[in-house]
Structure 1
Amino acid sequence: MAHTIINSSKAPAPIGPYSQATMANGILYVSGQIALDQQTGNLVNENIESETHQVMKNLGAILEEAGMNFSNVLKCTIFVKDLNNFGRINDTYGSYFTSNPPARETVEVSRLPKDVNVEISCIATK
């Protein structure tokens, strides 16, 4: 099966051997994004809301590169280090889906890349 690699210069470069996203048969699979600021290379982690906003901004840049936006998202996976932050993450995340939110799961994990508090991946289609 042929697939296309999607990389946005507006989102941070991968920190390992993976692509920001791949497109196959009209479906976009976006790798988990953390709160790295593409311009500075620094983590945005003053609080869980700013961290979540940066993650969503990175996802949005990749979606845009593929000619999509958050309305094209079918499913998200949210990984959190502390489920006690769920409400605050959920409020921030929800502001990006004004109608017809995608399917989703949220999973608490013991550790995430660069010791961030939240990582989100998504699947989208046109």
Structure 2
Amino acid sequence: MRNVTTQSNANIQRLGPEDPRLSQIVIHNNTVYLSGQVGSGGADIKAQTKETCDKIDQLLSLAGTDKTNLLQCMIWVKDIKNDYAGMNEVYNEWIKDGKPVRACVESNMVYKQEGVQLLVEIQATAALPQ
């Protein structure tokens, strides 16, 4: 993952800008913003949520923080009626202390990765430790 610092008065640091559409991590004013993360398309909501949370942990570590400093999580699930409980089971195990504010909504999530339907996406924002 490349580290690119934007040359502006805003002092914005962008990590992982290999993708032409987005950076994986943006850091500004001691706040870490992660792009939406998904798993690789595991068979069920629990597997996909676990993999997604693991990816968030890795990105937070690259940015110099961790999940205890999470401020907000935005969650999209494909089928809130059938997948909400399973996603929450994994999420609650992942976030035991320092719970962030959170929203969870249903999304069509038409995107398939390697032929497997994605069931969950999580976007996170965290503080850098002082």
TM range (shorter): 0.7 to 0.9
Find the counterpart in structure 2 of residue 55 from structure 1.
52
Find the counterpart in structure 2 of residue 66 from structure 1.
63
Find the counterpart in structure 2 of residue 95 from structure 1.
93
Find the counterpart in structure 1 of residue 78 from structure 2.
81
Find the counterpart in structure 2 of residue 39 from structure 1.
none
Find the counterpart in structure 1 of residue 119 from structure 2.
117
1:46 Cα deviation (Å)? 1.8
- Write the distance in 2 (CA, Å) between the matches of 1:91 and 1:14: 33
Find the counterpart in structure 2 of residue 29 from structure 1.
33
SS at match of 1:33: coil
Q: Between 78-87 and 107-116, report the one with greater CA deviation.
A: 107-116
| Alpha carbons of structure 1 residues 14 and 82: separation in structure 2 relative to 1, 3 Å | farther
1:98 Cα deviation (Å)? 1.3
Q: Is the contact between residue 112 and residue 119 of structure 1 (CA under 8 Å) also seen in structure 2? A: no
**Structure 1 spans left out of the alignment, 5+ residues:** 8-12, 36-42
- Write the distance in 1 (CA, Å) between the matches of 2:48 and 2:19: 18
- Write the distance in 1 (CA, Å) between the matches of 2:103 and 2:55: 19
1:16 Cα deviation (Å)? 5.4
Q: Between 85-94 and 15-24, report the one with greater CA deviation.
A: 15-24
4+ residue runs of structure 1 moved beyond 4 angstroms? 13-16
Taking structure 2 as the reference length, the TM-score comes to 0.80
**Structure 2 spans left out of the alignment, 5+ residues:** 1-9
Give me the CA root mean square deviation: 1.7
Q: Between 107-116 and 48-57, report the one with greater CA deviation.
A: 107-116
- Write the distance in 2 (CA, Å) between the matches of 1:119 and 1:63: 16
Amino acid at match of 2:127: T
- Write the distance in 1 (CA, Å) between the matches of 2:37 and 2:95: 17
Find the counterpart in structure 2 of residue 4 from structure 1.
13
